[in-house]
Amino acid sequence: MKTLTKYIYFNTKNRIEFVNITNQIEEIVSESKIKEGIVLVNPMHITASVYINDAESGLIEDYKEWLKKLVPEKDYKHNLTGEDNAFSHLMRTIMGREVTIAITNGKLDFGTWEQIYYAEFDGQRKKRVLVKVLGE
Site for Zn ion, rule CB under 5 A:
83, 85
CB closer to Zn ion out of 10 and 121 = 121
Question: Least CB distance from residue 99 to Zn ion, whole Å?
Answer: 23
Question: Least CB distance from residue 66 to Zn ion, whole Å?
Answer: 22
Question: Least CB distance from residue 94 to Zn ion, whole Å?
Answer: 15
CB closer to Zn ion out of 49 and 85 = 85
Query: Exposure pattern of 74-107 as b/e (b: 16+ CB <10 Å)?
Result: eebeeeeeeeebbbbbbbbeebeeebebebeeee
Instruction: Say if CB 5 and CB 32 are below 8 A apart.
Output: no
3-state secondary structure (DSSP) of residue 48: strand
CB closer to Zn ion out of 34 and 95 = 95
CB closer to Zn ion out of 27 and 83 = 83
Q: What angle do CA 45, 57, 22 make, to 5 degrees?
A: 50
Question: Least CB distance from residue 8 to Zn ion, whole Å?
Answer: 22
